[in-house]
Amino acid sequence: MTDLPPEDHAVLDDLTAALAARRDVESRHREAARAAFTWRTVDAELMELAYDSLDEPSTVRGVVSAQPRALSFTSRRGSLEVEIDGDRVRGHVVPAAVVTVIMTNAVGERAEATTDEDGMFVLMGTLPGPVRFTVEGDEGGTTPWVTL
């Protein structure tokens, strides 16, 4: 690039400076971008929490059950049954279909699995903070946020 005229070097220097400045994005712009990104799925079918095993009264006051937690979400399209057992999340999509199930937390960390032909899936590991589940596909939907 030494055979360029001095004017071209000046233009290249200006472009380099402009690109370097774009790397430093202000936090308010990042937050606005994240909010806009979140709205891309505003039309997704919202699944309703129909059952949570934590809502059942304990048989012995103050004793925490060692049983897995069960959650059931429903929509007009179908349902999602989820069981949380330690760091394993097992589930079932109804009606059965091969779809992708995604567990996302509030900061955007994700875990995903593809169901088998019976609609069953396993996610290894849980995410910190509240999470929601998204079922992608024709029978899909998104659950409300729940804390595991």
Q: Output the domain CATH number for residue 59.
A: 2.60.40
Identify which has the larger pLDDT, 14 or 136: 136
* DSSP calls for 58-112: PSSTTPPP-SPEEEEEE-SS-EEEEEEETTEEEEEEES----EEEEEETT--EEE
Task: State pLDDT tens for residues 83-96.
Answer: 999 999 999 999 99
Count of the separate structural domains present in the chain: 2
Domain extent for 30:
6-41
Query: How much is the mean pLDDT over the chain?
Result: 86
Within a domain: 1: no
Q: Determine if the pTM surpasses 0.75.
A: no
User: Does residue 63 carry a pLDDT above 80?
Assistant: no
Residues 68 and 141 in one domain: yes
